[in-house]
């Protein structure tokens, strides 16, 4: 039997680990790998037009499947382009392996054409990054990298010189053949008794949950019922916490609504579960704070914590629930839910189409999308205003998914993530909520949609501005500058790329255009000309922010409707 090459063994090892796709852009230093993939039907090469897209797409694949996803870049500039997307994957804690091709091994250190040092470049956005410089290192180094990405939920990188990939492998088979372990982590018996006593003796309790609550919806709802506690969620917890939840108050933070903020500020005890929410100003100063997290290093990282417990949400709550007493007073819950109903009515009012309105409000676009999208749709959203509209107006139901660059905060993430979502979920509807700035940054990968025959629906919120940046400038009391975008006709560009391209210029065109796109059998783009001057205020406004808006608008402030002026004296409308 002929010997396998190192590249062939690499692909064998990926397949043995359950990898079905490799996202990337071909290059000569990757020839051994792409040739090995070409000759088999149990793994696919997913071609994209930019390596950053490959990394974002792999991250979306890993996020949705829960399994290891792989991206690859050719030597030098090719794998440098992976870095931003890999930062997002790493900070979002999804298991991704990056193959960073390297120059010929004999030339490393000589300043050769396209030479970089991946083991240094990727150090800050990976748990593991090693150069394979000898054939004897394969598959062991690759398997260590994969196990690290899976077990630590993040990025691992192997750098492989193109010539080493073409050498005969010493080993002939993968070495690891066990399924991914599924351990449960729980506080000790004594810690559980302490936690139960704290909760049983506290009065006004608010629960604040995040992405760490995934897979523990039933336990979380039962906990809230036992404690008569409202539940506030962080953005990454929306898809896991919001649905079928009679205790939900929505989201807090800069993109949230007032009810979540007030429930946290007015509680006696805040129970933080599975979130590393970074904005310290949204945590209460006087409440007792209890935190449960699978990662002990996150306890107390964002605010003072009185009691910290290490455990995964489902295992911990399952052990805790039998120890909790029933019959806790529900006054705090009732007051919080009433506040939520009022805040929600206000948001819904902003999302309605108004007779005679000539502007398309982005809130209305998001609400229409929510109504028309499939019950198991996957949404991706660009950083900035599309994230705001997705957070406030897309409803989760336990089947829908929502992806974004919610921690790394990169522009241009939505389209690449939609590609990974669609390729890994061929039968589901995938919708990208793209900003005009974000789409333009990686617009070349509209071509990938056509080439891959990926029926992604791209909704472009076109306001000809970096709108969220403008808002930040206004809040700082300065005139907006360098935020204007001289945009093309995105619908025509989509048509030139082989997509269905549509434009909605007036409110009455929004629903029919989005309906047509969603029903189209193939990729489609809808360019929606939304009103630029929409205000997206956080649930509370600091004196510094009021001062900033005052300087910009003199003694006036744009309302949430975007076309009315209200006096600063009415600022409490937003509290």
| Strands across the sheet containing 288-293 | 248-251, 231-233, 205-209, 269-273, 288-293, 307-310
Residue 114 is a catalytic residue: yes
Residue 490 is a catalytic residue: no
Angle at 295 (CA atoms; ends 293, 301), nearest 5 degrees = 80
Residue 470 is a catalytic residue: no
Q: What is the DSSP code string of 83-102? A: HHHHHHHHHHT--EEEEEEE
The answer to whether 433 touches 386, Cβ cutoff 8 Å, is yes
**Per annotation, catalytic residue among 468, 490, 549, 552:** 468
Residue 51 is a catalytic residue: yes
**Per annotation, catalytic residue among 51, 130, 470, 527:** 51
**Per annotation, catalytic residue among 44, 114, 152, 451:** 114
Beta strand 565-567 with 556-558 is antiparallel
Dihedral sign for Cα atoms in the order 232, 236, 239, 241: negative
**Per annotation, catalytic residue among 113, 193, 338, 564:** 113
Q: Is 246 exposed, middle or buried (0-12, 13-18, 19+ CB in 10 A)?
A: exposed
Angle at 545 (CA atoms; ends 235, 269), nearest 5 degrees = 45
Name the DSSP letter for residue 571: G
- Nearest to residue 475, comparing CAs of 405, 414, 557? 557
Task: Compute the distance between CA of residue 219 and CA of residue 225 in angstroms, rounded to an integer.
Answer: 10
SS3 for 298-349 is HCCCCCCCCEEEECCHHHHHHHHHHHCCCCCCCHHHHHHHHHHHHHHHHHHH
The answer to whether 32 touches 166, Cβ cutoff 8 Å, is yes
**Per annotation, catalytic residue among 383, 423, 458, 526:** 383
Task: Compute the distance between CA of residue 132 and CA of residue 118 in angstroms, rounded to an integer.
Answer: 11
- Whose tokens are 């205790």? That residue is 247
**Beta-bridge mates of residue 128:** 156
Task: Compute the distance between CA of residue 55 and CA of residue 84 in angstroms, rounded to an integer.
Answer: 8
Residues catalogued as catalytic = 51, 113-114, 383, 468
């Amino acid at each position: 039997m002929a010997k396998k090459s190192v590249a062939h063994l690499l692909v064998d090892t990926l397949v043995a680990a359950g990898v079905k796709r490799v996202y990337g852009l071909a290059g000569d230093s990757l020839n051994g790998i792409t040739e090995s993939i070409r000759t088999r039907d149990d793994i696919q090469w997913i071609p994209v037009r930019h390596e950053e897209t490959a990394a974002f797409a792999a991250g979306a694949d890993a996020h949705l499947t829960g399994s290891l996803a792989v991206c690859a870049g050719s030597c030098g500039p090719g794998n440098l382009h992976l870095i931003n997307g890999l930062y997002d994957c790493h900070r979002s804690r999804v298991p991704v392996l990056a193959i960073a091709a390297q120059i010929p091994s004999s030339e490393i250190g000589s300043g050769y054409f396209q030479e970089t040092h991946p083991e240094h470049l990727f150090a800050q956005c990976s748990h593991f990054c090693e150069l394979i410089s000898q054939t004897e290192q394969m598959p062991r180094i690759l398997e260590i990298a994969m196990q690290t990405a899976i077990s630590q939920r993040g990025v691992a990188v192997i750098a492989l010189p193109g010539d080493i990939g073409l050498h005969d492998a010493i080993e002939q088979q993968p070495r690891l053949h066990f399924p991914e372990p599924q351990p449960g982590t729980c506080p000790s018996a004594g810690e559980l008794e302490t936690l139960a006593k704290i909760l049983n003796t506290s009065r006004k309790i608010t629960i604040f949950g995040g992405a760490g609550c995934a897979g523990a919806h039933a336990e979380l709802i039962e906990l809230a019922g036992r404690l008569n506690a409202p539940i506030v969620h962080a953005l990454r917890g929306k898809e896991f916490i919001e649905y079928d939840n009679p205790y939900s108050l929505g989201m807090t933070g800069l993109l949230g609504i007032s009810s979540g903020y007030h429930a946290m500020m007015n509680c006696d005890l805040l129970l933080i579960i599975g979130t590393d929410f970074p904005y310290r100003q949204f945590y209460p100063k006087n409440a007792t704070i209890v935190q449960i997290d699978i990662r002990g290093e996150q306890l107390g990282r964002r605010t003072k914590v009185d009691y910290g417990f290490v455990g995964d949400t489902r295992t911990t709550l399952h052990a805790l629930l039998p120890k909790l007493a029933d019959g806790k007073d529900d006054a705090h819950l009732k007051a919080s839910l009433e506040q939520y109903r009022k805040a929600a009515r206000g948001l819904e009012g902003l999302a309605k189409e108004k007779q005679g309105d000539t502007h398309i409000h982005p809130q209305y676009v998001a609400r229409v999308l929510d109504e028309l999208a499939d019950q198991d749709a996957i949404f991706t959203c660009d950083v900035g205003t599309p994230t705001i509209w997705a957070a406030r107006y897309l409803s989760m139901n336990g089947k829908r998914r929502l992806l974004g660059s919610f921690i790394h905060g990169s522009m241009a993430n939505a389209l690449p993530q939609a590609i990974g979502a669609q390729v890994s979920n061929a039968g589901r509807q995938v919708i990208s909520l793209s900003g005009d700035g974000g789409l333009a940054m990686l617009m070349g990968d509209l071509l990938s949609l056509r080439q891959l025959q990926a029926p992604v629906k791209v909704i472009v919120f076109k306001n000809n501005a970096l709108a969220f940046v403008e808002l930040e400038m206004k809040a700082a009391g300065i005139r907006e500058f360098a935020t204007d975008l001289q945009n093309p006709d995105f619908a025509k560009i989509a048509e030139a790329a082989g997509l269905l391209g549509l434009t909605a210029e007036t409110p009455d065109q929004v629903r029919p255009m989005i309906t047509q796109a969603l029903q189209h059998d193939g990729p489609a783009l809808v360019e929606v000309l939304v009103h630029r001057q929409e205000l997206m205020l956080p649930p509370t406004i600091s004196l510094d922010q009021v001062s900033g808006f005052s300087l910009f608008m003199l003694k006036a402030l744009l309302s949430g409707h975007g076309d009315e002026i209200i006096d600063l004296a009415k600022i409490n409308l937003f509290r």
